[in-house]
Amino acid sequence: MEQPRILVVEDEQAIADTILYALRTDGMLAAHCTLGSDALASLRAAPADLVVLDVGLPDLNGFEVCRTLRTFCDAPVIFLTARHEEIDRIVGLEIGADDYVVKPFSPRELAARVRAILRRARGGSATAARDDEIAGFTHDKDGARLAYHGHWLALTRYEYLLLAWLVAHPGRIYSRAQLMDGVWAGALDTSDRTVDTHIKTLRAKLREVAPEGAGRIRTHRGMGYSLEP
């Protein structure tokens, strides 16, 4: 299997060196940028398989970098931050991050998170070579993408997995625990709030395609969520 290419965006050289060592020891190709602008230029020139992105960069805020790269790149993003506040974690998830690591952290644990996300990214579905039409959605399983009313949705990895889970069984109510077990199985450092955050962003993206889109995902108080048939 081809070695995964990881871009580390971190301005503190000592931290960057430990991350690079851990990733390279784990058999990955790891490149390094100290500025957000350099990282965006690098990703435009040669897309990475995953980006490890510090929030506190000298030129651009890491959230700004993530918002910009999401306009042209769907590589998974792991945020690094010295901030512990829940609101920062929620903002990171809402703009398309796949994981969030608070400093100080273990480089080996970070490498394990990178491996886990890459496995999920490459897992996909090997069963269907055609598009499935379900409840107004088109599900391209081989391409790991979903369309609503004929418009392909720009989804992060977990948004796709969550919506695909709901689309597969329209009308069925899933509790937060069931969605966590099914979509975030094996993911580290997640909570029930993670489900709510991703439901919110999915509704916004469906609303962009059609006004009634947000209402397709129903909240059942005390029970969970379902996709309206």
- Residue ranges and CATH numbers for the domains of the chain are 5-123 (3.40.50.2300), 131-227 (1.10.10.10)
Could you say which residues of the chain have pLDDT below 50? Answer: 1, 124-130
Phi/psi at 101 (5° precision): -120, 125
pLDDT at 51: 96
**pLDDT tens for residues 175-206?**
888 888 888 766 655 666 888 999 999 999 99
State whether residue 41 is helix, strand or coil. Answer: helix
**pTM exceeds 0.85, yes or no:** no
pLDDT, averaged across the chain: 83
Q: What is the pLDDT of residues 23-50, one digit of tens each?
A: 998 889 999 999 999 999 999 999 899 9
Q: How far apart are CA 185 and CA 152, in angstroms?
A: 26
**Beta strand pairing call for 5-9 and 29-33:** parallel
* Bridge partners, 196 (sequence order): none
**Are 202 and 163 within 8 A, CB to CB?**
yes
